[in-house]
Amino acid sequence: MEFCPDCGKVLFPKDGKFSCDACGYEKVVTEESKKQYEVVEKVDKEDTIIVTDDNVKTLPTIKVICPKCDNKLAFWWLQQTRSADESETRFFRCTECDYTWREYD
Ligand SMILES: [Zn+2]
Ligand SMILES: [Zn+2]
């Protein structure tokens, strides 16, 4: 929550700015702070892929066609998505082009 530096009232978001109803003070939301919000939202929404280039080579492979390069072999692993009551999702990573995708049921 943002507070007015002039009168101490709560600032309300309006037109990309925070403005004070009491005295008319306006605080511009800077690009910098917008970016921080976006990054946090992104991390929260996307399923985090835990596989890194270091450990992917230890994964089992499966015959599956890469949607990107038509290669027929991919590494695969199971991963719990964000909500715990969902079943695990299978992820694939192409052995050729490193394209990573998930299996939808
Ligand atoms: Zn004010
Ligand atoms: Zn591929």
pLDDT one-digit tens code per residue, 82-93: 766 777 889 999
53-58's contacts with Cβ under 8 Å and 24+ in sequence apart are 53/98, 56/93
Catalytic residue among 38, 86, 88, 96: 86
Q: How many domains does the chain have?
A: 2
Distance CA 54, CA 31 (A): 35
Question: Catalytic residue at 70?
Answer: no
Q: How does residue 73 score in pLDDT terms, banded at 50, 70 and 90?
A: very high
65 CA to centre of ligand 2 in angstroms: 8
Distance CA 28, CA 18 (A): 6
pLDDT one-digit tens code per residue, 25-56: 888 876 655 555 554 444 444 455 566 666 67
Let me know: does 91 contact 100? Beta carbons within 8 Å: yes
97 and 60 both lie in a single domain: yes
* Structural domain containing residue 18: 12-45
Residue 92 within a domain: yes
Let me know: does 39 contact 30? Beta carbons within 8 Å: no
pTM of the entire predicted model: 0.47
Q: What is the pLDDT of residue 40?
A: 47
